[in-house]
Structure 1
Amino acid sequence: MKIINNITLLLIYLNASLLVFPDKVKPYLIFSLLLSIVFRKLKLKTKQKHSNQKLLISLGFFGFLLVSCFFSDNFYVGYKKLESSASLIIFPLIFYLLAGDTQILNTKSLEVIKKMVIFSTLLFLIFSFSYFYITEPYYTFKSTLVHYSNLINIRNTGYLIHPIYLSIYVGVSIVFSLELFIKNKKYVFFILSLVLLIFMGILNKKGPILSLLVIGAFYLFRNKLNLKKSIYLVPVFLLLILLIIYLPKYNNINTFSELKDLIAQKSNEDSSTGIRLQIYDCTIRNISKSPILGYGIGDVNVVLNNCYLNSNSLEIQKNYNTHNQYFSIWLSAGIFGLMAFLFYLFTVFKIARKQDLKMLYLLNLYFILNMLTENILEREDGVIFFSFLINLYFFKNDLNDD
């Protein structure tokens, strides 16, 4: 049993580090973890504690998406979308089977998982940046800074990742680093958080940065009486703001300036904020036409593209999604699918508060905020990371510290 436990732990740690593995390898690591846990479960002689209610809540909204696939005209498109989101089923099952299992999920292993997330993210950032700086012809250090966020999405063959999703990884790694520093007083994690902050500034993506600032402010508010713990966060977030302002940008354009006048941005074809506002306009108009049942997960893109055809500035060939996870679920599975998803997120908050799982609370809040501007559950880079972390904490019933 010790060997099986070690293999299971190793696979959990590898799944926490999926960012550094090629895209084709990731599914095999996830399924290997599931198989090892099922095999281990069959070998166990003692009964473990399982929460069937938690599992049903975790899978509920995915069930609505599955049903919506069958009344989609584009069934194959819907099937492929569900296939990309398969970790929404697999990770709840994995951690459901491990619920309350202190041989695998204990304080020590959870700290290792946090460190694996931190170091794998740093490894990806440093090596990819160094690779572009060394191999891109005519690139200076400054031009690598400027173009890094685009290069990881077009030149990183086998490891392609959108800069927004990489920023989400960096944001979670910063949270983990600061938590380990505050908890263990190891200054190496404080230094690592500063390095991660620099990359957050280089990527310069509004959603993840604003979400990080919000949960940082939330943490400060909740710990206002514990100044020794909170005081370190102030210079960290001041540094982030300075990086946003002064790091070199493409064409010297800081996208945060778009937030000054949201109304004016709607007609700006070159503004990411303007494009999003036009997408939201199309999305809301289509939701209003079928708010109860939606359109089916396979037909959402067709519905949106038909709306974009009538737009003067949106390019249909870019196949924009809703850029809002809640709108996407509403369009796909109607109001009942959205309610099931919101109930799931509310339940995560409820469990986090009841069991005093501060990290689960912060992670859930961070993903919820990022879902306001991104369809995190519809891209493998986002859904795997979300499902792994949230279900890891959601099902660890017997561990009241994090």
Structure 2
Amino acid sequence: MKIGTLKSYKETNKFLEVSLFLFAFTLPMWNSINTIFIYPILVAWLLLNNWSEKLNLIKKNFIPLVLLTLIYLLFLSNFLFSDDVSQSSKLALKALPLFIFPLVFLSTPTKYYRLGSIFTGLTFGTIITILICWGRILLDILSKRDPLDQATYFFEWIYTDFNLLKPFGAHPSYVGVMVVLVIIVLMCYEGFQKFRAEKVLYRLTLIALIFFILQTNSRISFACLVLFLCYYFLRNFNKRSILQLLVLFVVLFLLSLKFDYLFHKITSILNKDGEITFDRFPRWLGIWEENNRFGNHWIGVGKEKAQFIYNQSYMKNGFDLALRENYNAHNQYLDFFVSNGIIGVIVYLFALLFFLYNTHKNIIAISFILIVIFFSVSETIFGRSVGLIFFSFFYALLFSNFKNQPLR
């Protein structure tokens, strides 16, 4: 059966499909609620009772399963570096999605669930998340003595960034890149052709999603969105597609001017002389220098001593906010280098490149891995549970469904 073809309910396992739908639906929402829905997925996977099929698929997907297991072992290695068994155990438990989702998806035939159902759950969950965030903003505006005056702050920091996602306590960049992925799915997934035919609803949905990305004030989300739109419109390379892209860029530029905090963050990456003024770059240099004093370039120093190296760097270089807030490296590659050395970086890069090589024919899969590659430059994505879940869930799901198979 071709990828993207909607399967009938008779061919699917309803318990597994509902569990996956609910998990995808809660992905943009509260992390505690989302984590709960991992358990029904595990139970449904066990109840399939198709062990011969599972073993056969594990053999076929042995390399990606090993690669993701090796990434999980990078977290388990903290037991070797730390005497605090409790903290190492918490870290191992936090990183479990790196083992659970690959095991489930890389050993489960795609006939037991519909990919379209998972994408639908993710899309609806994202829309509900947006409506809740906008609803809170509206209530806050209406609760003020002068609502019209308060509404003028809609484009400013008081109603964007972390304040935008206050109902969920979520990090704007993580939600932002997830919304970018939803946009890519809506625009490219074959199973959503009927929805795209409803042009008014489809375009209004895309406008709302893009507007929300701007509200997150996330540079990486904005960059990923722009790169995807460039590829999407220019792949056919005709006058119409070029004109559409130019119009879209003008609109995005004007809107980013309105969201002055986002515009400032984008323009603060380089100065007029072409020098890097990105606020995290000096911190990375400081961490690199400090790691040369205290670190181990081959095997790293473990997660706890890595944070000690970060804090030492922040203290010596006057990064008071980073020291006070106990910032991580804000760079996944650098974090693996300090925590797990060159070995850790190689394992991570190999996992990314292996996925890229085996799914490069599919626009959704390649977009996902490119998002992860770029996002890893500006965030320690595995430092948060939502990052671990986002990576492991979509890595295993998309690899299983799109390995060496184009969408259309």
**TM-score normalized by structure 1?**
0.84
- Unpaired runs of 5+ residues, structure 2, are 1-8
Q: Distance in 2 between matches of 1:46 and 1:199?
A: 40
Q: Distance in 2 between matches of 1:228 and 1:124?
A: 34
Helix, strand or coil: the match of 1:26? helix
Helix, strand or coil: the match of 1:204? coil
Higher relative CO (CA 8 A, sep ≥ 6), structure 1 or 2? 1
Q: Distance in 1 between matches of 2:271 and 2:26?
A: 39
Q: Distance in 1 between matches of 2:88 and 2:290?
A: 18
Instruction: Report the CA distance between 1:311 and its aligned residue.
Output: 2.2
The answer to whether the Cα contact below 8 Å between 1:79 and 1:298 also exists between their aligned partners in 2 is no
Instruction: Report the CA distance between 1:91 and its aligned residue.
Output: 0.9
Q: State how 1:296-375 maps to structure 2 within 5 Å.
A: 296-315=302-321, 316-353=323-360, 356-375=361-380
Which of 239, 245, 249 is the matching residue for 2:251? Answer: 239
Which residue matches 2:169? 160
Residues 313-337 of structure 1: per-residue CA shift (max 9 Å, x gap): 3332210110001111111111001
The residue type paired with residue 351 of structure 2 is Y
Which residue matches 2:397? 392
Q: Distance in 1 between matches of 2:273 and 2:75?
A: 33
Q: Is the aligned partner of 1:179 residue 2:185?
A: no
Helix, strand or coil: the match of 1:49? helix
Which residue matches 1:41? 49
The residue type paired with residue 349 of structure 1 is L
Which of 58, 63, 74 is the matching residue for 1:53? Answer: 63
The residue type paired with residue 292 of structure 2 is S
Q: Which moved more, 1:181-190 or 1:238-247?
A: 181-190
Structure 1 residues 144 and 84: alpha-carbon distance in aligned structure 2, compared to 1, 3 A threshold: farther
- Unpaired runs of 5+ residues, structure 1, are 268-272
The answer to whether the Cα contact below 8 Å between 1:177 and 1:190 also exists between their aligned partners in 2 is no
Q: Is the aligned partner of 1:24 residue 2:32?
A: yes
Q: State how 1:241-256 maps to structure 2 within 5 Å.
A: 241-247=253-259, 249=261, 254-256=264-266
Instruction: Report the CA distance between 1:190 and its aligned residue.
Output: 3.0
Q: Is the aligned partner of 1:191 residue 2:204?
A: yes
Q: Distance in 2 between matches of 1:209 and 1:150?
A: 16
Structure 1 residues 266 and 240: alpha-carbon distance in aligned structure 2, compared to 1, 3 A threshold: closer
Which of 92, 98, 120 is the matching residue for 1:82? Answer: 92
Q: Which moved more, 1:323-332 or 1:295-304?
A: 295-304
Which of 113, 116, 127 is the matching residue for 1:111? Answer: 116
Residues 5-39 of structure 1: per-residue CA shift (max 9 Å, x gap): 10100111111112365332222201220121122
Q: Distance in 2 between matches of 1:263 and 1:281?
A: 20
Helix, strand or coil: the match of 2:111? coil
Q: Distance in 2 between matches of 1:262 and 1:78?
A: 46
The residue type paired with residue 95 of structure 1 is F
The residue type paired with residue 287 of structure 2 is T
Q: Is the aligned partner of 1:295 residue 2:304?
A: no
The answer to whether the Cα contact below 8 Å between 2:29 and 2:129 also exists between their aligned partners in 1 is no
Instruction: Report the CA distance between 1:209 and its aligned residue.
Output: 0.9
Which residue matches 1:270? none
The answer to whether the Cα contact below 8 Å between 1:206 and 1:255 also exists between their aligned partners in 2 is yes
Q: Which moved more, 1:257-266 or 1:382-391?
A: 257-266
Which of 220, 225, 231 is the matching residue for 1:207? Answer: 220
Q: Distance in 2 between matches of 1:325 and 1:237?
A: 30
Instruction: Report the CA distance between 1:241 and its aligned residue.
Output: 2.5
Q: Distance in 1 between matches of 2:347 and 2:287?
A: 20
Q: State how 1:71-150 maps to structure 2 within 5 Å.
A: 71-98=81-108, 100-104=109-113, 109-135=114-140, 137-138=143-144, 140-146=150-156, 147-148=158-159, 149-150=161-162
The residue type paired with residue 23 of structure 1 is N
Note the aligned Cα RMSD (angstroms).
Answer: 3.1
Instruction: Report the CA distance between 1:3 and its aligned residue.
Output: 11
Q: Distance in 1 between matches of 2:403 and 2:289?
A: 46
Q: Distance in 2 between matches of 1:282 and 1:76?
A: 30
Which residue matches 2:381? 376
Instruction: Report the CA distance between 1:303 and its aligned residue.
Output: 1.6
Which residue matches 2:5? none
Structure 1 residues 92 and 264: alpha-carbon distance in aligned structure 2, compared to 1, 3 A threshold: same
Structure 1 residues 240 and 176: alpha-carbon distance in aligned structure 2, compared to 1, 3 A threshold: farther
- Number of residue pairs matched by the alignment: 383
Residues 264-305 of structure 1: per-residue CA shift (max 9 Å, x gap): 9988xxxxx32x123212221134342112111232111211
